[in-house]
Amino acid sequence: MTTSPSPSSPPPNRSAAANDSAPTILRTPAWMRYFSLFGTLALSGVSAAMLAFAVFLLFQRWWWLGALIAAIAFFMAALTGYVLRDFRGRWGLRVELLSDRMVLDLPAGRSLIHRPVAQHLTIPYGDIDAVETRLEGYPSFGTEGMQRPYVLIRKQGDPIFLFEDRAIGTPLETPLVAEIANAIVARAHVPLRDLGMVEGRGGFLSVWGTHAPDWAAPSLPLAQQLRIWRHVAATGWLVIVVIIVAVAIRLLVGE
């Protein structure tokens, strides 16, 4: 099985719940859930304000400017829907590890590309064969994003998409769910299989028109993986530069 040459492979430490049969509840960190809530509310407010301003301009018969602001407002509203889906995924994700089974509360927004349905399941550990993970690259307009999804493989029945970490390989990387995956494999005494790396369709800014490869897709050759990692690293630093420039402009304008 191919293992991708990344500095962001799943953490090897599986001791989180290795010898502990006490009930354990795992969720994404509270700070990330509240950060996602703040982002959703902020974008919603900006979208509403821009739409109201566009309506005002149209009533003043500033047609072209009003139409431009309205178009931007609708774009921001669509982006708000994207962020809202991310918020629902982070806020609703809950995994409870019991002595002989686990209870999964998996919201629909736990992936922004795979689009899994919401699931509420109780699964005995004896029914679990493994947890699988892989790296997924999504190119868009010369940039590339990387994420790491995790899928539960049962001895019988369809695989279950668990969750994913995003912004892998960039300064913005925060492995929020890797610890949950490690706790599951430790409690269930099953392997964590790394399936390597694949590349999907990034669509428009990796937000609209995306498509994930089939889970059975083979891992990419080493040379292609290295090329993707270079694009991912460049994209991560580009985002940092844009943020710094935006903050600098805001400070200058504020003065």
Q: Is 0.75 surpassed by the pTM of this model? A: yes
* pLDDT reported for residue 35: 84
Average pLDDT over residues 71-76: 86
* pLDDT reported for residue 17: 40
Higher pLDDT, 10 or 97: 97
Higher pLDDT, 170 or 123: 123
Instruction: Measure the CA dihedral 85/200/75/252, to 10°.
Output: 100
> Rounded to whole angstroms, how far apart are CA atoms 162 and 150?
6
CB neighbours of residue 245 within 10 Å? 10
> Rounded to whole angstroms, how far apart are CA atoms 162 and 142?
29
Contact 102, 17 (CB under 8 A): no
Average pLDDT over residues 50-76: 87
CA 35, 149, 137, 139 torsion-angle sign: negative
